[in-house]
Amino acid sequence: RKEHDKIIEYQKDAKKFGINILPVDLNKSDIKYRIIRKKDDGNGKTEILPSLMVKGIGPEPAKNLIAHRPYKDLREISQKTDTKLVDLDVIGCLCEAGVFNKAFNSFKRQNMKGKARLTRDQEDRLLEDFKAFWQKKFRSLRLDMKAAAKRGVESGDIFGD
């Protein structure tokens, strides 16, 4: 916990020096932070892609997520990753780290109930609701896969994309 608090402070300091820390990206982030653009390349700010080892996710789950990418949705995460390493807690940590922000923003719009803005407490509560919803969905996908495997069929999306 203390290590992740230090990382947050380092990220704040980096911004002061014109270094842009990008959002965690499930399909691009690695175990270690990675410089993807240097200021001296004439591209403006230095950009760093953060580690997938966000608060609550250790090296083994992160390695498992990295080894099985790319992912286009939660179903693929549930199908491709090791059930012992990537569990509900990992999904919750990814939610809190903003990995699923596109889905969260959609969830937020659906749940704002006509409000133009949310207070910080309302936003935090909505994130907790989203996290619980996403974990429930992930659990359901994993249970469906397990039931399909018992029947000897492959689980999949019958509607496709």
Query: Is pLDDT above 80 for 127?
Result: yes
Residues contacting 78, CB < 8 A, separation 6+: 138, 141, 142, 145
Measured from the Cβ of residue 70, the count of other Cβ atoms closer than 10 Å reads 9
- Condensed to tens digits (0 to 9), the pLDDT of residues 57-102 reads 999 999 999 999 999 999 999 999 999 999 999 999 999 999 999 9
List C-alpha distances in Å: 85 to 14, 75, 113. 31, 16, 37
- Mean pLDDT across the stretch 128-152? 91
Question: What integer pLDDT is reported at residue 4 of this predicted model?
Answer: 65
In the chain, the percentage of residues whose pLDDT exceeds 70 is 88
In the chain, the percentage of residues whose pLDDT exceeds 90 is 49
pTM reported for the whole predicted model: 0.81
Question: What integer pLDDT is reported at residue 61 of this predicted model?
Answer: 97
Question: What integer pLDDT is reported at residue 160 of this predicted model?
Answer: 52
Question: Chain-wide mean pLDDT for the chain?
Answer: 86
Q: Which residue has the higher pLDDT, 8 or 110?
A: 110
Query: Is pLDDT above 60 for 24?
Result: yes
